[in-house]
Amino acid sequence: MENLCIVGLQWGDEGKGKVVDYLADGFDSVVRFNGGSNAGHTVVVDGSRHVFHLLPSAALKSKNLLIAAGVAVDPDVLSEELSLVKRYRTRTVVDFRATVVSPLDKMMDVMVEELRGPSAIGTTRRGVGPAYALRAFRLSPRIADIITDSLDMASMRNFYSKFLPKVPDMEDWQRKSRILLKKIAGNVSDVINEINEKGGAVLFEGSQGTLLDLLYGTYPFVTASGTLSNYVPESVGVPPNRVGDVMGVAKCYATRVGSGPFPTETDKEDAAKIRNEGNEYGSTTGRPRRIGWLDMVSLKYAVKINGVKRVSLTKLDVLSKLKRFKICEAYSVDGEETEDFARCLPKIDEVRPVYSDGWTIRGEFDRNRMGGSVQRLIDYIEERLRVDVKLVSWGEDRSMTYER
Ligand code: IMP
Ligand code: MG
């Protein structure tokens, strides 16, 4: 059994949580490999909803939960989430090299957004960007530094005192964080090695999505970490050949929370309908998500750059509520049609989508058989992206999943 990597192919909120929960059975452990508590991964079982921000989405399957060195860890959020999963038989290990998000990072996140004024990114204000930035400054504490009290926290406070109106006392936070982190800190890359050496496999769970990647996304309207499969080896501390196959998760339309370019964004009417049917509100911030049509140009880019061979397609039930919908086949820019997303990236604000129209999905969902209109969409996606569509999801609940 090989390791498997799950990544989002759009701007996040593709339904990765559901897919990870569904697939977790075959794996020893699930590893969160990027971002921090800006993420919100939802798992629904028998009508009860669980949203994970920091822990991998496999607690309900009683899997071991690993948080890699490349994640920005907020001890307060972690503490809350661990208490929610207490009743499941899971073991949690957080890599001792991971970056810690402090209350100061959260204050800084808010302040930098205010400084940007009308060009604010619309971050989740969870302090993830500042924590990674401070890591690059060599000022942010790692998990190990909190535990051993070894980092010169005074330098971090001094740095922040130049920007923040008031730097609160952190002793209480440090003490609480130390108690928590001592119990769960470990060497995640060694844990993965041991599992693989014994013939077991792990699932790498990405957060956010390809188009929010710090380097390859719609910069500057992106998150502060890598979101692609190529971030896995760096973040979790395994060689690239151990990443395994890559499965991409794509919603059959697109959404985006926060500001930034969104070529296939729909008009208000369609947006309201889809948002309502798909409950498209941020699971971390509650903000209404912006809505767009399925965009094959950016999907092709995401498939290529992640090395995706298998795809999970989600939320088909939502489009089945529309009379018809559109799919973006190409971009028109400078009087030319192109399917080359990377080429368009520097002037992504200027591209105009070229659509095929008249698509429909009828409500023909079944665990054993997909109806004709669903099959047509799957065939189209497989052919256009040269991937295998492995899972099709038509509702939040774990049971509403068709496996091919
Ligand atoms: P940050 O990651 O909080 O710095 O936010 C940067 C951008 O990424 C904003 O547009 C956020 O809305 C977006 N973002 C961050 N995390 C997620 C996520 O898990 N799902 C969707 N969008 C996200
Ligand atoms: Mg989400």
Pick the ligand that lies closest to the CA of residue 101. 1
Question: pLDDT > 90: what percent of the chain?
Answer: 93
Q: Is the shortest distance between the CB of 244 and ligand 1 below 6 Å?
A: no
User: Which of 5-14, 21-30, 164-173 is predicted least confidently?
Assistant: 164-173
The pLDDT assigned to 89 comes to 83
Q: Is the shortest distance between the CB of 258 and ligand 1 below 6 Å?
A: yes
Q: Is the shortest distance between the CB of 34 and ligand 1 below 6 Å?
A: no
Residues ≥6 apart with Cβ < 8 Å to 143: 73, 94, 95, 96, 97, 98, 100, 181, 185
CA of residue 208 to ligand 1 center, whole Å: 7
The pLDDT assigned to 15 comes to 97
Q: Is the shortest distance between the CB of 13 and ligand 1 below 6 Å?
A: yes
Residue 375 has pLDDT above 90, yes or no: yes
For atom 8 of ligand 1, the residue with the nearest CA is 223
CA of residue 343 to ligand 1 center, whole Å: 24
CA-nearest of 379, 399, 240 to 307 is 240
Residue 90 has pLDDT above 90, yes or no: no
- Per-residue pLDDT reduced to its tens digit, 173-204: 999 999 999 999 999 999 999 999 999 999 99
The pLDDT assigned to 149 comes to 82
C-beta of residue 68 within 8 angstroms of C-beta of residue 40: no
Task: Round the CA-based radius of gyration of the chain to a whole number and report it.
Answer: 21
**CB burial of residue 154 (10 Å; 0-12, 13-18, 19+):** exposed
Pick the ligand that lies closest to the CA of residue 227. 1
CA of residue 95 to ligand 1 center, whole Å: 23
CA of residue 14 to ligand 2 center, whole Å: 7
Half-sphere exposure of 218 (CA within 13 A, CB side): 24
- Confidence class of residue 152 from pLDDT cuts 50, 70 and 90? confident
Averaged pLDDT, 151-176:
91
Residue 109 has pLDDT above 90, yes or no: yes
- Per-residue pLDDT reduced to its tens digit, 341-360: 999 999 999 999 999 999 99
Averaged pLDDT, 388-394:
97
Question: pLDDT > 70: what percent of the chain?
Answer: 100
Q: Is the shortest distance between the CB of 12 and ligand 1 below 6 Å?
A: yes
Residue 151 has pLDDT above 80, yes or no: no
Residue 7 has pLDDT above 90, yes or no: yes
Residue 401 has pLDDT above 80, yes or no: yes
Catalytic center residues: 13, 41
Residues ≥6 apart with Cβ < 8 Å to 196: 3, 202, 242
The pLDDT assigned to 23 comes to 97
